[in-house]
């Protein structure tokens, strides 16, 4: 390369570094389903003749719409499901299935769930685009912290270690500017658990603010609905009952059950003519749906629900309201838990109930750092990631933070 070319590169990167020196770097923390997963297979058997048993390389398994089609979805479920061991109280993949979470530290795998960049796979992309328009640079001042969203904190210990290293490295690489964390849905809970592992001096030095979008602070009644009948992810092409076979094996689903901090212990969650189910007798519900492992995973994760100490950082808690959200399951007389219930709706963002979305307000008198509550009418759980009002709020916040 010529001296002239070298000089051009030097000037360019010097300019970039000068611009970035005044920016607070940002780390994006996804929610449930909010990052890519790769798989590599070395299986001796399969659940269907269409299923591959051996692959030489890792391939994208989430989100790969080509795998979520009739018959082939049986292969996907077997490769994505977890097997629970009630002795070790941990989960593992099916023998011969090796999964990895790609792209830690970069933004690509949290911007796009589908590496082909199909529109249906966009996740943090609108927010990353906004940040770039404000002068940020992907993988320099905008980074991502994906994790295995199927698992709860008890099986994600290494993630929290890696996240601390990422925060410190990002802080150092950007002129010792404290980091802004932007978290979606379950990512808010992951962020809370992470921050509560750090001492206050570390947080004061390294964290500028925490922005949560649709934080599922107190869990969601949708978790009960998934255990009962599954969830089709909003796609008419998918069957709830089929998706349920994989979904209920995830300990993170148990972690997202309604929290006793926000639901009364005698509040009816599931209504039948034989028996009503509340938090008081939830164990009977799991045995009623013939999935006792769900109860065991709840026991493993409830400590994280109850550890709801304030995070000790400034919070901007942004969430949608006024969208029909399942509040209770109702089984008509003569039916039982193996039937299909009516969904009684209430207020929320379509996925998380309002009482949970507002959970951050619990800390208002429990920490010195400011807590900003930003309810947005008619904004749904996933739509919040690209909503115009949200992007404008983030733009104003980041411009203000960067000026300070």
| Furthest C-alpha separation in the chain | 83
Q: Of 46, 107, 122, 185, which residue is the catalytic one?
A: 185
pTM over 0.85: yes
pLDDT digits (tens, 9 = 90+) for 223-264: 999 999 999 887 766 889 999 999 999 999 999 999 999 999
Active site annotation includes 349: yes
Of 219, 245, 251, residue with least CA distance to 92 = 251
State the chain's mean pLDDT as an integer: 93
> Using CA atoms, how far apart are residues 286 and 239, in angstroms rounded to an integer?
21
Active site annotation includes 114: no
Active site annotation includes 185: yes
> Using CA atoms, how far apart are residues 288 and 199, in angstroms rounded to an integer?
43
The arithmetic mean of pLDDT across residues 303-309, rounded, is 96
Phi/psi of residue 109, nearest 5 degrees: -80, -5
Q: Of 148, 206, 381, 387, which residue is the catalytic one?
A: 381
Q: Of 32, 349, 380, 387, which residue is the catalytic one?
A: 349
pLDDT digits (tens, 9 = 90+) for 73-132: 999 999 999 999 999 999 999 999 999 999 999 999 999 999 999 998 999 999 999 999
pLDDT digits (tens, 9 = 90+) for 6-62: 434 433 343 344 345 589 999 999 999 999 999 999 999 999 899 999 999 999 999
pLDDT of residue 233: 82
For the chain, list the domains and their CATH numbers: 26-36+103-403 (3.40.50.1820)
């Amino acid at each position: 390369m010529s001296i002239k070319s070298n000089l051009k590169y030097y000037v360019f990167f010097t300019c970039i570094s000068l611009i970035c020196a005044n920016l607070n770097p940002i780390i994006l923390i996804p929610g449930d389903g909010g990052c890519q997963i790769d798989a590599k297979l070395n299986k001796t058997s399969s659940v269907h003749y269409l299923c591959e048993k051996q692959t030489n390389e890792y391939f994208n398994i989430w989100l790969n719409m080509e795998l979520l089609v009739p018959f082939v979805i049986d292969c996907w479920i077997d490769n994505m499901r977890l097997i629970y061991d009630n002795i070790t109280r941990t989960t593992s993949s099916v023998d011969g299935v090796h999964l990895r979470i790609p792209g830690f530290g970069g933004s690509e795998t949290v911007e796009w769930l589908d590496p082909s960049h199909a529109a249906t796979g966009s996740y943090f992309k609108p927010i990353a685009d906004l940040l770039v328009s404000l002068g940020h640079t992907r993988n320099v001042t905008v980074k991502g912290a994906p994790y295995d969203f199927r698992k709860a904190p008890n099986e994600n210990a290494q993630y929290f270690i890696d996240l601390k290293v990422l925060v410190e490295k990002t802080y150092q690489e950007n002129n010792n500017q404290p980091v802004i964390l932007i978290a979606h849905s379950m990512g808010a809970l992951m962020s809370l658990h992470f921050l509560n592992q750090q001492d206050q001096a570390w947080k004061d030095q390294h964290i500028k603010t925490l922005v949560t979008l649709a934080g599922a602070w107190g869990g969601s009644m949708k978790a009960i609905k998934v255990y009962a009948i599954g969830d089709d992810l909003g796609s008419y092409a998918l069957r709830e009952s089929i998706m349920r076979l994989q979904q209920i094996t995830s300990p993170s689903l148990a972690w997202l059950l309604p929290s006793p901090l926000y639901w009364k212990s005698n509040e009816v969650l599931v209504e039948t003519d034989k028996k009503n189910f509340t938090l008081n007798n939830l164990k009977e519900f799991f045995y009623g749906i013939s999935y006792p492992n769900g109860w065991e995973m709840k026991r493993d994760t409830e400590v994280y629900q109850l550890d709801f100490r304030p995070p000790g950082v400034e919070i901007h808690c942004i969430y949608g309201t006024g969208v029909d959200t399942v509040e209770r399951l109702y089984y008509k007389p003569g039916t039982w838990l193996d039937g299909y219930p009516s969904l009684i709706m209430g207020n929320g963002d379509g996925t998380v109930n309002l009482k949970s979305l507002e959970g951050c307000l619990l800390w208002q008198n429990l920490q010195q750092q400011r807590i900003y509550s930003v309810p947005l009418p008619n904004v749904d759980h996933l739509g919040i990631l690209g909503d115009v009002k949200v992007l404008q709020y983030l733009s104003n916040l980041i411009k203000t933070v960067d000026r300070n």
